[in-house]
Structure 1
Amino acid sequence: MQENESLREFVKRFGQAVLQVEAYSMDAVLQIFKRNICPGTPFFESLAKKPPTKMDDLFRRTSKYSMLEDDMRAATQQILVFGQAIQKWCGKKCQTFGPAKALWWPEPLRADPSKRDHSKKCVYHKKHGHTTETCRSLHYLVEKLIRVGHLKQYLRSDARSSDASRNHNSGTPRFQLPPKPL
């Protein structure tokens, strides 16, 4: 494999090279193929544990692992893009306070641990005392990310439904005022 070449690209190039050879042995093709795959990868280990017996089997397994590789690359790209967005968003704060990760670490809970409700656990804080659904810190963080625009893909795109949720009961007050004495 060439540097920065995906498994899918390598297999395509390898398949074209094999088609140009008139007579070949399956064992020789597999050995050449394995020598060109990066050792230590899940695909290499799979080939070492159970060598394919036919070209169809080799290409089927290659397709499976190339999809895995594509998914891993896409996830890595999303993490990199999100990290760059955080760096861009926090700007000088990151230079003042350190890496962006430090800005997103939840603040420790202030309540005495022995007095917390152990039947409830917050996954965000990884502590007992309240649930993730009622966590105010997480709520504020999500609101901030929505305002900045990092969570656009999770918001409804239907304008009517978002307007309706924003203006829910907009004509009525949230609480009723007591009647004024005459």
Structure 2
Amino acid sequence: MRVEDVKKLVNDQLRDLKTDENFEDALRKEMDQANFTPFTPKQFSTPSFTHFKGDSCPESHIKHFKSDMILHKADDALMCKVFAMTLRGAAQDWFHTLPSGSINSFKELAYVFVKEYTSYRTIKKNPDHLFNLRKKSNESLRDYIKRFKAEKANIVGCDDRIASFAFKKGLPAEHDLYCELIIAPNQTLAEVFATAERYALWDDDRIATKKSTKQEDQPTKRAGQKSNGFGNRNKDKRRSHPKEDATAGENYTKFSIPIHQILSQVKDKPWVRRPPPLKGDPDKRDIRKYCAFHETHGHTTNNCFAWKTHLEELVREGHCTEFIAKQAIQRIEDCDTTKEPP
């Protein structure tokens, strides 16, 4: 064979080989187009599961797994294969001990799984458990509400009427909220919690006021002890004369009617002077107590120190004498007699 014939034969084979490569590329492109889909992702995307290690409730794990695989429940084989991916540690070792071909459905797999770890099943609480809850003496109302709600959340299918009754029974009988719930017994559980939240706001304010008062008193006491060296001496002096402190509040004039009634009768008189406004944050005062002399909340009129002091001044000036008790009048006259010169 001549050299020219050999070269021609080689060129023909190279041309055929190139044609085959072009055919393979075209075929591959057609296959890709056949597999094309407008949806993403193209493959199954494994959700993020909570892994089971063999030391928790198996029924809870089955429920969480079904919730995550809710879109794939129809594919029983996929459910079984993906479930094995959620096992770790001892649970994974147990799965590999199952005989080959022994599981025909996910229902069977769930049955043998729960049976294997049945000792770790969580015992459900009964609604009667709520009656064991009691508000502690040093516990705020808000903390008691949170603790009660957390316990109720662990009871599946708890009746609202039982929960309402148990919440009320957990309160002390002298608590204001207990009285409120006794007066309105037909409230729903949502209404009971709404009422409790309103009382909790007042309770939080009371606790905050009590703490702020303690913080204000402590620096004042320390400053007073530092400014003079007789802080402890004055303290001992007050301890040694308790009767003087007790009788200090008895020096007020005795009246025949409560002093808040006296104020209601003489408040429009020109010789009654208005008191200066109360100090402190108005939002932290006790709204259940009202003082007619200051015309604001925080304390009662009968316990108002400013009104008691001003009323003594009015008596000395000759006013409000018609309200003085007979014994008090006799005592005042005796005191005036002893002060007269011989």
Q: TM-score, normalised by structure 1?
A: 0.52
Report the counterpart of residue 233 of structure 2 in structure 1.
Answer: 96
Secondary structure of 2:201's counterpart equals helix
Q: Does 1:73 find its partner at 2:207?
A: yes
Residue 148 (structure 2) pairs with residue 5 (structure 1): no
Give the total of aligned pairs.
113
Report deviation, 1:13.
1.7
| Counterpart for residue 58 of structure 1 | 192
CA distance in 2, matches of 1:52, 1:119: 53
User: What is the distance in 2 between the residues matched to 1:96 and 1:86?
Assistant: 17
Measure, in 2, the Cα distance between the counterparts of 1:52 and 1:10.
22
How far did residue 3 of structure 1 move?
A: 4.6
Q: Identify unmatched segments of 5+ residues in structure 1.
A: 106-117, 130-182
- Report if the CA contact (8 A) 2:160-2:189 is conserved: yes
Q: Do the aligned partners of 1:34 and 1:47 also contact (CA within 8 Å) in 2?
A: yes
- Does the 8 Å contact 1:38/1:44 carry over to 2? yes
Encode CA deviations 1:38-71: one digit per residue, 9 max, x unaligned.
2211111111121252121011111100000001
Residue number in structure 2 paired with 1:175:
none
Contact 2:177 2:199 in 1 (8 A): yes
Q: CA deviation at 1:14?
A: 1.0
TM-score by length of 2: 0.29
**Identity value in percent:** 16
Q: Please say if residues 43 and 65 of structure 1, whose CA atoms lie closer than 8 Å, have aligned partners that are also in contact.
A: yes
Residue in 1 aligned with 2:271?
119
| 1:23 corresponds to which of 157, 169, 182 | 157
Aligned residues: CA RMSD: 2.8
Q: Bigger relative contact order, structure 1 or 2, given CA contacts below 8 A and separation 6+?
A: 1
Match of 1:38 in 2: 172
Structure ID, larger Rg: 2
- Decide whether the 8 Å contact of 1:8 with 1:63 is kept in 2: yes
Q: 1:98-122 deviations in whole A, cap 9, x for unaligned?
A: 36xx8xx9xxxxxxxxxxxx82647
Q: Please list every run of 5 or more consecutive structure 2 residues that lacks an aligned counterpart in the other structure.
A: 1-134, 239-244, 249-269, 276-305, 315-342
Q: What is the letter of the counterpart of residue 119 of structure 1?
A: W
